Amino acid sequence: MKRRKTPVRALLEGLAAGAIGAGAQSLYFRLTERITPKAPEEAFDPPEGEQAQESALETTARRLVEGLAQRGPLDARQKERIGEVVHYGFGAAWGGIYGLVRASYPRAWSVRGIAGFAIGVWMLGDNLLLPALRLAGWPQRYPVGVHAHALGAHAAYGAGVALGLAAIDRAPLVPLVAAFALARGRRAGRRVAAAMEGHALVPREVVEAPRHLARALARRARDLSR
């Protein structure tokens, strides 16, 4: 008889799969870079002048470091690197939510459930959270082609999450989750540290946090397998 997953175990699986999905989405953006439709300039009137040269992720990174932490300023390279950490963190968070949902409602673990999850992330993320946070315009201002491309990106994300969870289900669970969490946490920590090298932007504890969190998750995951 298959043992029922604990909430912590389901969350760990979802976090790992969500980060894998974020990687799949990044790959989609790279592969479709040449055919990415351009959003009309009038679709979004940025409230901050710096946003004209930033992506939504870079704006988020700047707001977190310069606005929330009151450090900086960040240069273009630092914004890009910290923005990538934000991207993977956001993807992992959604994956964690899905991991908990599928553990409670097995029907969510289906092609229809994964598709609904991907569309839901697109609807809530691109069409609600980004406009609400003044990172993009409201959905009615963009042409169908822009929405189709974004929806394709979230389909890639959903597929990455599904493949990640399927691999975790079939492989020895804990080594995979622990290894991925540790590797991703260390890599994220190195990116933030490299982006801030030579600048007293944030306290050292904040820079080291992703690595400490990854080690804690890895230890917890190993405990679950015993």
Dump pLDDT digits (tens) for 78-90: 999 999 999 999 9
Closest CA to 199 of 119, 79, 30: 79
- C-alpha 118/C-alpha 40 separation (Å) is 25
The mean per-residue pLDDT over the stretch 10-26 comes to 93
Q: Is the pTM of this model over 0.85?
A: no
Task: Say yes or no to pLDDT of 206 above 50.
Answer: no
Task: Say yes or no to pLDDT of 93 above 60.
Answer: yes
Task: Say yes or no to pLDDT of 186 above 60.
Answer: no
- C-alpha 176/C-alpha 182 separation (Å) is 10
SS (H, E, C) 190-210: HHHHHHCCCCCCCCHHHHHHH
Cβ atoms < 10 Å from Cβ of 164: 26
Q: How confident is the model at residue 194 (pLDDT cuts 50, 70, 90)?
A: low
The pLDDT tens digits of the residues spanning 138-171 come to 999 999 999 999 999 999 999 999 999 998 888 6
